[in-house]
Amino acid sequence: MYKNSYITNWVKDVSDLTKPDNIVWIDGSAAEKSRLTAEALRTNELLELNQEKLPGCYYHRTAINDVARVEHLTFICTPTKAEAGPTNNWLEPKAAYQKLTKLFAGSMRGRTMYVIPYLMCSAGSPFCKVGVEITDSIYVVLNMRIMTRMGQVALDQLGDSNDFVRGLHAKGDLSEEHRMICHFPQDNAIWSIGSGYGGNVLLSKKCFALRLASYMARNEGWLAEHMLILGLENPKGEVSYIAAAFPSACGKTNLAMLVPPLSQAGYKVWTVGDDIAWVRIGEDGRLWASNPEAGFFGVAPGTSMKSNLNAMLTIQKNTIFTNVAVTPEKTVWWEGMGVEPPQNCTDWRGNPWTQASKEKAAHPNSRFTTPASQCPVISKEWESPHGVPISAFVFGGRRAKLAPLVYQAYSWEHGVFVGATMASETTAAASGKVGVVRRDPMAMLPFCGYNMQDYFRHWLALGKKIKNPPKIFSVNWFRTNAEGKFIWPGYGENIRVLKWIIARCNNEVSAVESAIGYLPKPEDIDLTGLAAEGVTLETIKELLSVDTKAWVDEIKDQNSFLQKFDNLPAELISELDKLKKRLGVF
């Protein structure tokens, strides 16, 4: 039993409301893990995978109507709608609590309630924050064990303080009508009911580490971003760190663990984080970033020895697979794994599947939950209390047309504008139509816990506080040709773009001024060994081309997105004007 009376009182209130049969206080021990795993196997919440081939690995299937984040059921509950802003769903807190109280009442009857204290970032670090999640799902407990530092370590950090995020989750009836994910930034609280899917229920992740943390960060003078963090080591052994924002399922995990091709053997990428970066101004006045999580919740389909060798090596043990396909020998399979599909298997719905089946065997948003410490290229700095110093911020999206392979913003303000107006084609990570272009500022559209115009303002203000702010870049790996084929090979070859980015940060290479920003001189992208992939200087020229007419249409769309806001920072309006002038539009 915990001594912290803020926790015990809250647990009492929640159990009075939800009426569980039992309460289990999670300590994070190995014995507890075995006990909970055995229990989940007994109830079929988990299935045991082949323990010889995949030791410590288990499988979970969600309900078929519950496979992704549900943005239309996700709410920011602030006293006024203006605080949540035009891009968030808003509910007035009292009304939200009333609705939720009805949904949660008696929701844990006949079930066990688990109380999980956990840390974001490592204990004792200036970045570190405490959360407590109450849930009635063992799947959540076992995933939180991988994704966070949980149990006693968090209680030790908290002591008798009241400064922790209260996260409450119940599975409820798993119906969409009764599903809500509500955030109360002023109360440090999250209430989520009606789902068992990762992003909706691992409350440490998007709910705390992005939505609530972005709100805290604004008040406390730091940033909580939807960014991977990687270290790029050059042949001299010097490591530069890059933080990069991409929308969900656009390859953050792949980029974070990139394996350079043979021709680039002198370079190495070290993974610090694959999804979230907390960023603070360090004592030296530079920006330092820390990965608040302890595991990766990655998209399985498309992950192969070729696309992400290090992820494949990471997930060979102690991993929970969700909604992938299971083979007769109890191993896992998914589309894009780079191995022949099994003759037959069980698909993510639990139905028999054969090679002749038209349906996908794995859900496009099926996932692995795996410990970061198992990644063969995990950075030795990944748990460093002060984080890693950031040289460059990168904003990326999935754009079949328009956005060049890479360009650099002219200034911090211009970079914030580039981030604020970025767009990407939607993926299976959220429910809804896949492949439509939507504006997704800093890849934070679904994750910013307050009015995005104030978020832009916060970015701009932070830049003014730093003497040498990181340089800001835009990348696009996804440009296609007239036949709809990707022009750039991507994956490990992206190292060539990262090298140019770092060379720019170190003032080692010049660039060409264009209407949209600094472009590389095509010959400055290292093409050694790329001819085999069919990439020539001509390809690079095509990838770097800026189609003025298409950009004129783009700024119309940027403009209509920005029109949603009633009080945009003047700097952004001025950047839009400058872009128009450079494009020759008035």
Cross-strand partners of 438: 424
Token readout for 492 is 């490990």
In the numeric block, the tokens 């754009």 are attached to 399
Minimum CB–partner distance for residue 332 and ligand SAT (Å):
18
Interacting stretch for ligand SAT, rule CB under 6 A, among 197-205, 347-355, 371-379, 406-414?
197-205
The CB-nearest residue to ligand SAT is 199
Minimum CB–partner distance for residue 252 and Mn ion (Å):
7
Burial tier of 484 (Cβ tally within 10 Å: 0-12, 13-18, 19+): exposed
- 387 touches 280 (CB < 8 A): yes
Q: Fill in the per-residue mask, 280 to 309: x = in contact with ligand SAT (CB under 6 A), - = not in contact.
A: -----------------x------------
Q: Which is nearer to ligand SAT, 113 or 429 (CB)?
A: 429
Minimum CB–partner distance for residue 398 and Mn ion (Å):
14
- Pairwise CA distance, residues 252 & 274, whole Å: 6
Q: Pick from ligand SAT, Mn ion, none: which does 198 bind, CB < 5 to 8 A by kind? A: ligand SAT
Catalytic residue among 57, 77, 250, 345: 250
Minimum CB–partner distance for residue 523 and ligand SAT (Å):
36
Q: Pick from Mn ion, ligand SAT, none: which does 320 bind, CB < 5 to 8 A by kind? A: none
According to the binding rule CB under 6 A, does residue 198 interact with ligand SAT?
Answer: yes
Q: Fill in the per-residue mask, 244 to 263: x = in contact with ligand SAT (CB under 6 A), - = not in contact.
A: ----x---------------
77 is catalytic: no
Q: Which is nearer to Mn ion, 40 or 423 (CB)?
A: 423
Which listed residue (61, 166, 171, 205) binds ligand SAT by CB under 6 A? 205
- Pairwise CA distance, residues 24 & 116, whole Å: 9
- Pairwise CA distance, residues 395 & 227, whole Å: 9
> 10 Å Cβ neighbour count for 131?
26
Count residues contacting ligand SAT (CB under 6 A)?
Answer: 8
Binding-site ranges for Mn ion (CB under 5 A): 248, 275
* Full 3-state SS string of 219-238: HHCCEEECEEEEEEECCCCC
According to the binding rule CB under 6 A, does residue 499 interact with ligand SAT?
Answer: no
Q: Which of residues 42-81 bind ligand SAT (CB under 6 A)?
A: 69
Token readout for 144 is 């939180």
According to the binding rule CB under 6 A, does residue 206 interact with ligand SAT?
Answer: yes
Q: Is the dihedral of CA 351, 355, 360, 364 positive or negative?
A: positive
Q: Which is nearer to ligand SAT, 208 or 297 (CB)?
A: 297
Q: Pick from ligand SAT, Mn ion, none: which does 69 bind, CB < 5 to 8 A by kind? A: ligand SAT
According to the binding rule CB under 6 A, does residue 91 interact with ligand SAT?
Answer: no
Q: What contacts 114, CB < 8 A, 6 or more positions away?
A: 23, 24, 26, 134, 135, 136, 137, 138, 140, 141
According to the binding rule CB under 6 A, does residue 120 interact with ligand SAT?
Answer: no
Amino acid identity at 76:
I
- Pairwise CA distance, residues 377 & 268, whole Å: 9
- 182 touches 96 (CB < 8 A): yes
Q: Which residues bind ligand SAT (CB under 6 A)?
A: 69, 198-199, 205-206, 248, 297, 429
List, by residue number, the catalytic residues.
Answer: 250
